[in-house]
Amino acid sequence: MASRETLLKILDLARWAPSGDNTQPWRFEIVADDHIAIHGNDTREWCLYDFNGHASHMAHGALLETLRIAATGEGLAASWQLRPGSPDKAPVFDVKLAPAPGIAPDPLLPFIESRTVQRRPMRTTPLTTAQRSALAAAPGAGYSVQFFESGAERRQVAGLLWRNAYLRLTCPEAYPVHKEIIEWRTRFSKDRIPEQAVGVDGATARLMEWVMASWGRVQFFNKYLGGTIAPRVQLDYIPAIACAAHVLVKADVPAQGVEAHVRGGIALQRVWLTAASVGLHLQPEMTPLIFRWYARAGLSFSALPEIQQGAAALADEFERIGGFGHDQGLTFFCRVGVSDPPKSRSLRKSVEELILPGR
């Protein structure tokens, strides 16, 4: 059995799991000295990118895997189960912890806190054989990994991301999300993305802050002043070229339901922590996957027909570049490379803030 102090120590590490735009869609309940309940939620009601809550479900998976890894440092084995009857919008995961004599700390344990997002250009130094092999093995059974490494492949991905960013920045339904998630004029943020981690220069940041104060300003700049160009160059095109490789995690079976997406989140976190363990930084590139989820499901996400048409065209382009079909399950897309550590990053809410009152 574990003491409350030990459980809090495990949760203090687990809370560093990644989540979309640092939303941290979870709260903790210490039920007993061998039982933690994770109360999940999703952001689908206000976040365009949380398609059917799946991005949040993947974040729940990343949290559960991080908790499992953290528990090994305390000599404990952690296992989880989705609580029967809990709704998709608010899934509850029951985590049981048991003493495991002789269990070794997971090799990924030291990288839980240092893992972060690098949105700025990285070096184009090619992946080593060891790095590539580690990343390929990281997601585990049920997944395969595809690399886009050559200059030509990275330029193809850069073109995809350039066009994807245009949709993202001109979609009125995405505007409230973009307005909400950035904490301006900061280096660190415990519940959003700090400005200095966004990846643009100071002048562009000041212009973005002013323009994004209203959708009317965004529309004017986009229509008359090429308002999407500077952010797309700095946030999408240049970083897509300036990296070692883009990494695509593909599911052997397309994910259906909460548990399948949770397992996708486990794979995501293992790739990210493994990248950190072999000296690489990483930036997720999830919006092409998310727009493809909408397009292939035949679901509308914008009142503008051109946005819907653009998403379908991007899905076709992604499949052409990757050489796979409509039915291929895609789990995680990112770029990796060697770089200096980011000087700015998202932090997390404290354990005290994340524990449910009275729990």
The angle that helices 54-72 and 4-14 make with each other, rounded to 10 degrees, is: 130
Q: Are 61 and 269 in contact (CB under 8 A)?
A: yes
Strands (E), 75-181: 76-82, 92-99, 143-148
Q: Are 67 and 95 in contact (CB under 8 A)?
A: yes
Give the pLDDT score at 280. Answer: 98
Q: What radius of gyration, in Å, describes the C-alpha atoms of the chain?
A: 20
pLDDT tens per residue across all 359 residues of the chain: 689 999 999 999 999 999 999 999 999 999 999 999 999 999 999 999 999 999 999 999 999 999 999 999 999 999 999 999 999 999 999 999 999 999 999 999 999 999 999 999 999 999 999 999 999 999 999 999 999 999 999 999 999 999 999 999 999 999 999 999 999 999 999 999 999 999 999 998 999 999 999 999 999 999 898 989 999 999 999 999 999 999 999 999 999 999 999 999 999 999 999 999 999 999 999 999 999 999 999 999 999 999 999 999 999 999 999 999 999 999 999 999 999 999 999 999 999 999 998 66
Give the pLDDT score at 222. Answer: 92
Give the pLDDT score at 188. Answer: 97
Give the pLDDT score at 225. Answer: 87
Q: Give burial (CB, 10 Å; 0-12/13-18/19+) of 48.
A: buried
Rounding to the nearest 10 degrees, give the CA dihedral for residues 138, 49, 262, 31.
120
Give the pLDDT score at 184. Answer: 96
Rounded distance between C-alpha atoms, residue 196 and residue 345, angstroms:
8
What pLDDT, in 10s, does the model give residues 178-196? 999 999 999 999 999 999 9
Nearest to 41 by CA among 87, 94, 85, 80: 87
- CB burial readout 339-355, b (16+ within 10 A) else e: beebebbbebeebeebe
Give the pLDDT score at 1. Answer: 67
